[in-house]
Amino acid sequence: MNDQFPEILPRLESYNTMRTWRERFGRYLLQGSRCKSCGSLWFPRRDELNCPKCKGMELEPYRCSRLGTIDVVQVENMGYPIMGYGETAPRLICTIRLDDGITVISELVDAEKDELVPGARVRMVLRKHKREETGAWMYGYMFALCRE
């Protein structure tokens, strides 16, 4: 809003903050679910959903491994940066096989493109994403190269 256009402008790409808040444990802690019946692990969380494997509904919170290995990397050069992420383009997007067998999609940070190749070891970090509807910054997981 500003003086010239005091009305609230619709933003089709925005979501209610409640929707972001509901997933805070997944986004901050990489928290998924473990099935109490069959032990299978899931991300995103599946609490109060059915377990795809045993079809039960007894799932408990599970902190996914924060270490993993890059499977594939994509340099985002498509010309369509997502709203709120255009300033950081080109971004590096990848799929990561976590040490516990779960696979996640994430942006890779703190490394050069040449370092982030399939097979490279990465660790979860918490980073700034984009602004929410309220103007507050949204934070969430990304992955960075393991340097030991």
Partner 1 sequence: MTKRTFPKVYLASAAVSPPARSVSHLTWRQFIAQAAQAALDRAGLSVKDVDIGAISYNERTITEGALGCVAADAIGMIPRPFVSISQACCGGGLCTDVVWNYIASGRYKAGIVLGISKPDNFDFRDAMGPIGNYTEYDYMLGFSHENYGALRSESYKKRFGYGEEAAAAWAKQCYWYGRRNDSALRKLDPSDEELMADDTAGYRLRTATGRNLASCLILVSEEVVEERKLPRLLLDVSYRTRPPYLGNHYDYAGHEAFADADPATQPGLRLAAEETLARACVTPSDIQLAQVHDLSPFEGMEALEGMGIIPVGSGGKFAMEGGTGLGGRCPTNTDGGAISYGHSSAGGDFSSKIYENYLQLLGEAGERQVANARVAAAQAYGSHHSMEVCSILQRENG
**Interface residues toward partner 1, by CB under 8 A:** 12-13, 15, 19-20, 22-23, 26-27, 40, 42-44, 52-53, 71-74, 76-80, 82-85, 91, 93-95, 97, 101-107, 118, 129-130, 140
Q: CB 74 → partner 1: shortest distance, Å?
A: 4
Q: Give the pair of three-digit tokens for residue 68.
A: 């993993």
Q: Of the two residues 87 and 148, which places its CB atom closer to partner 1 in the complex? A: 87
User: Half-sphere exposure of residue 15, counting CA atoms within 13 Å on the CB side?
Assistant: 11
Nearer residue to partner 1 within complex by CB, 16 or 146: 16
Residue found under tokens 């070891």: 121
What is the chain's Cα-based Rg?
18
> 91 near 111, Cβ under 8 Å?
no
Minimum distance between the CB of residue 26 and partner 1, rounded to whole angstroms?
7
3-state secondary structure of 83: coil
Residue 77 CB, nearest distance to partner 1 (Å)? 5
